[in-house]
Chain A
Amino acid sequence: MIHFLLLISRQGKVRLTKWYSPYAQKERTKVVRELSGMILSRGPKLCNFVEWRGYKVVYKRYASLYFCMCVNQDDNELEILEIIHHFVEILDLYFGSVCELDLIFNFHKAYYILDEILMAGELQESSKKTVERLIDAQDALVEAAKEQANSVSYMISQATK
Chain B
Amino acid sequence: MNPFSSGTRLRDMIRSIRGCKTAAEERAVVRKECASIRAAISDNDNDYRHRNMAKLMFIHMLGYPTHFGQMECLKLIAAPGFPEKRIGYLGLMLLLDERQEVLMLVTNSLKQYPTKISFPFSYIHAALCSIRIIKKVPDLAENFVNPAASLLKEKHHGVLLTGIQLCTDLCEVSTEALEFFRKKYTEGLVKVLKDVVNSPYAPEYDISGIADPFLHIRLLRILRVLGHGDTDASDCMNDILAQVATKTESNKNAGNAILYECVETIMSIEDSSGLRVLAINILGRFLSNRDNNIRYVALNMLMRAITVDSQAVQRHRATILECVKDLDASIRKKALELVYLLVNENNVTSLSKELIDYLEVTDQEFKGDLTEKICSIVEKFSPEKIWYIDQMLKVLSLAGNYVKDEVWHALIVVISNASNLHGYTVRLLYRAVQLSGEQEILVRVAVWCIGEYGEMLVNSIGMLEKEEPITVTECDAIDVIESACKQYSTDLATRAMCLVALLKLSCRFPSSSQRIQDIIAQNKGSLLLELQQRSIEFDSILQKHQNIRSALCERMPVLDESTYVGRRAGSLPAAVSTSQGAVLDLSNGVGKPSAAPLVDLLDLSSDDTPVPNSSGNDFLHDLLGVDLSIASTETGTNQAQKSGADVLMDLLSIGTLPSQSSLSSFDGLFSSRDNSASVGGLENLSSNTTLPVQASTESGGFPMMDLLDALSPSEQNREDSGPTYPSVVAYESSSLRITFNFSKQPGNVRTTLVEANFVNKSSNAYTDFIFQAAVPKFLQLHLDPASNNVLPASGNGLITQKLRVVNSQHGKKSLVMRIRIAYKLNDKDVKEEGQISNFPPGL
Contacts and interface: CB of A to CB of B under 8 A. Distances in A.
Partners in one complex: yes
Interface of A: 14-19, 22-25, 28-29, 43, 45-51, 76-79, 81-83, 85-86, 104-105, 107-108, 111-112, 119-120, 122-130, 138, 141-142, 145-146
B128 A120 contact: yes
Contact of A14 (B14, B61, B296, B333): B61
B327 A127 contact: no
B124 A124 contact: yes
Nearest to A80: B257
Contacts of B400: none
A111 B90 contact: yes
A85 B292 CA distance: 18
A124 B213 contact: no
Interface in B238-268: 253-254, 256-257, 260-261, 264
A25 B296 contact: no
Contacts of A125: 124, 157-158, 161
Contacts of B295: 47
Interface string B78-102: 0001110011001001100111000
6 contacts: A23-B97, A47-B328, A51-B330, A76-B260, A78-B293, A126-B215
Contacts of B215: 126
B559 interface: no
A72 B66 CA distance: 31
A124 B158 contact: yes
Given A111-B90, A126-B205, 10 more contacts: A17-B94, A22-B99, A51-B330, A76-B257, A82-B257, A86-B214, A105-B10, A120-B128, A122-B165, A126-B157
B292 A47 contact: yes
A68 to B, nearest CB: 14
Given A49-B293, A105-B11, A82 B253 contact: yes
Closest 4 CB pairs of A and B: A78-B257, A47-B292, A22-B98, A120-B128
B370 to A, nearest CB: 16
Interface of B: 10-11, 14, 18, 54, 57-58, 61-63, 81-83, 86-87, 90, 93-94, 97-99, 124-125, 128-129, 131-132, 157-158, 161-162, 165, 203-205, 207, 212-215, 217, 221, 253-254, 256-257, 260-261, 264, 292-293, 295-297, 300, 327-331, 333
Contact of B87 (A29, A47, A108): A108
A104 B14 contact: yes
Contacts of A29: 63
Contacts of A145: 81-83
Given A25-B97, A46-B329, A77 B128 contact: no
Contact of A82 (B83, B207, B328): B207
A15 B18 CA distance: 13
B257 A47 contact: no
Contacts of B254: 82
Nearest to B11: A105
Contact of A76 (B10, B63, B97, B217): B217
B207 A76 contact: no
B257 A119 contact: no
A38 B38 CA distance: 37
Contacts of A76: 217, 221, 257, 260-261, 264
Contact of B83 (A14, A19, A79, A146): A146
Contact of B293 (A48, A51, A124): A48
A98 to B, nearest CB: 17
Contact of B161 (A23, A24, A78, A123): A123
B407 to A, nearest CB: 24
Contacts, number: 144
Contacts of B260: 76, 78
A117 B257 CA distance: 19
A127 B157 contact: yes
Contacts of A123: 161, 214
Given A22-B98, A81-B257, A119-B128, A47 B296 contact: yes
A107 B61 contact: yes
Contacts of A49: 293, 296, 330
Given A46-B330, A108-B90, A112-B86, A79 B158 contact: no
A138 B83 CA distance: 9
Nearest to B80: A145
Interface of B, secondary structure class, is: helix
A15 B14 CA distance: 12
A81 B253 contact: yes
B97 A19 contact: yes
B328 A46 contact: yes
Given A14-B61, A22-B98, A120-B131, A78 B297 contact: yes
A119 B123 CA distance: 13
A79 B214 contact: yes
B614 to A, nearest CB: 45
B99 A24 contact: yes
A124 B256 CA distance: 21
A48 B256 CA distance: 15
Contacts of A17: 61, 94
A124 to B, nearest CB: 5
Contact of B97 (A22, A46, A47, A112): A22
Nearest to A140: B82
A124 B128 CA distance: 8
A112 B57 CA distance: 14
Given A45-B292, A78-B293, A128 B253 contact: no
A145 B58 CA distance: 23
Contact of B330 (A16, A24, A47): A47
B293 A81 contact: yes
A104 B54 CA distance: 12
A79 B330 contact: no
A78 B298 CA distance: 11
Contacts of B331: 47
B14 A141 contact: no
Contact of B86 (A50, A79, A82, A138): A138
A146 B81 CA distance: 10
A122 B261 contact: no
A19 to B, nearest CB: 7
A44 B260 CA distance: 23
A69 B810 CA distance: 54
Contacts of A108: 54, 57, 87, 90
Contacts of A81: 253, 257, 293
A87 to B, nearest CB: 12
A16 B840 CA distance: 70
A79 B293 contact: no
A11 to B, nearest CB: 12
Contacts of B54: 108
A126 B128 contact: no
Contact of B205 (A43, A78, A105, A127): A127
B327 to A, nearest CB: 7
A51 to B, nearest CB: 6
- Of the candidates B10, B18, B87, B330, the one having the most CB atoms from chain A within 10 angstroms of its own CB is B330
A22 B161 CA distance: 24
Given A78-B293, A107-B61, A24 B97 contact: yes
A126 B161 CA distance: 8
A151 to B, nearest CB: 14
Nearest to A19: B97
B167 to A, nearest CB: 13
Contacts of B61: 14-17, 107
A17 B260 CA distance: 29
A66 to B, nearest CB: 15
Contacts of B212: 126-127
Contact of B128 (A24, A111, A122, A142): A122
A45 B327 CA distance: 9
Contacts of B207: 82, 86
Contacts of B221: 76
Contacts of A79: 213-214, 217, 257, 261
B63 to A, nearest CB: 7
A24 B95 CA distance: 11
Contacts of A19: 97
